[in-house]
A and B are shown apart, each in its own frame.
Chain A
Amino acid sequence: MKKIFFSILTIFLFSCQTLPVINSPVSPADEKALTCPSPFLKEKYRLVHAIETRMAGDTRSSIIGVTLADPSTRSVSCAIMTAEGMVLFEAESGPGALKVIRALPPFDSGDFAKNMIEDIKLIFLTPEGRIISRGYLPDGATVCRYLEENRDRIDVITSKSEGISIKRYSSVGLLKRQIKFNKTAGNIYQNIELQANETFDYSLLMNLIEAEPVKSRLLGTKSSRDTQK
């Protein structure tokens, strides 16, 4: 009973989060020293994650997610498969175009592909919008706020206690997505938690299986793969 209560409370509190006030740096020196956190990819990368899906704090299922993201072109390819190797969803997104290669139920619903690509971009790519505010949250965390074309705000936050996180707020300031990078050692994408505030809230817990930079074959360079055992 307690567990259910706390789950509901957590969802309620998460759902009610709104755009926080950013306190400006107190001095020019402080402002100069303030660096925007950037947990984003610097080069084209392929990442494979084990992904747990959760609703109301309860683990529902587990799948494998493959992401290929290129920050220079903002192109993203992704696939979702079961442990048995069955591909449930595959899509690629280039400049201005989204191509769904395969989508089996329930991944064939209207906005699923679009939302998934947006989530991947939110995690791995620097926001497209401009920085409209830099400073500190009331808890002391450093934050840089981006304004997206659709008026959404994206806060990229770094805190000594919580590490790096990303929050996406709607144009009216309601929290839509929260991403936490729970880095233990090595790759920052080792353990990622995404919380989505939708009609039915859900969360994804992503554990890195392997990651490798993708070099252009024309350059004749080999890519090295970091495999997590």
Chain B
Amino acid sequence: MNTRCNLYIFICIVAGVLLFFSPLIYAGANDFEQLRKESANIKTIQADFVQKKSMKILSRPLISEGRFFYAAPDSFRWEYFKPLRSIVIAHKNNTKRFIYSGGKMVEDKMGGAQAMKIVLGEVAGWMSGKFDQNPAFAATIKEGTKTLITLTPAGKSMAGMIEKIEITLSKKAGTVQSVKITESANNFTQINFDNVEINKAINPSVFQDVE
């Protein structure tokens, strides 16, 4: 179950990233139908990210850094460099999580590859811009100086785990904003992206090799 939660987080981030870099940003998207049409233009994405975890027990956010890769239709690599080295790789219907231990990357035995597959099945809808068609989340768009997409858990599966996910889009072309995942009032994760490259070739080994 916790694996499923973790992967929901991962998927929410991925979905947010893809939405960020959608050409729709340039077009001033104002509905989900447009999102679906335009998201087909994305072939690859890669970006650095900084994650800030805030919660009551921490005096200031715990900062993590990493890099993200995506290649259509279903290859992902979500990698943390610090403070805890870990990688989630999804490629050709095979999803694995690795952690750094004893000087090398080893597979996370509690990862529950089967659970990952189930969740990644759900992300397929997100990948094609179907943010308003996933029964697990209710989605709303708010236009303003920035576009804010809010995803709220609709079913019981996420109850008590995630309160909402907010995806902020910039109206300015190519400007990356953030994904904010709120678990409770004092407990949220903010992820900001940098050095974004869209549709630049990615070596296939990125989705196969952990080192």
A contact residues vs B (CB 8 Å cutoff) = 46, 48, 50, 52-53, 58-64, 66, 68, 77-79, 81-88, 90, 102, 104-107, 209-210, 212, 214, 223, 225, 228-229
Contact = CB atoms under 8 A, between A and B. Distances in A.
Contacts of A52: 99, 101
A60 to B, nearest CB: 4
A131 to B, nearest CB: 32
A59 B102 contact: yes
Contacts of A209: 62, 83-84
B125 interface: no
Given A104-B1, A209-B83, A82 B109 contact: no
Interface in B159-179: 160-161
B62 A87 contact: no
Contacts of B1: 104-106
B59 A212 contact: yes
A99 to B, nearest CB: 12
Interface residues of B, number: 37
Nearest to B82: A229
Nearest to A205: B101
Contacts of B101: 52, 59, 62
Residue among B6, B13, B80 with max Cβ neighbours from chain A (10 Å): B6
B79 to A, nearest CB: 10
Nearest to A50: B84
A3 to B, nearest CB: 13
Given A81-B53, A83-B80, A88 B109 contact: no
A84 B10 contact: yes
B128 to A, nearest CB: 23
A83 B187 contact: no
B106 interface: yes
B111 A61 contact: yes
A223 B59 contact: yes
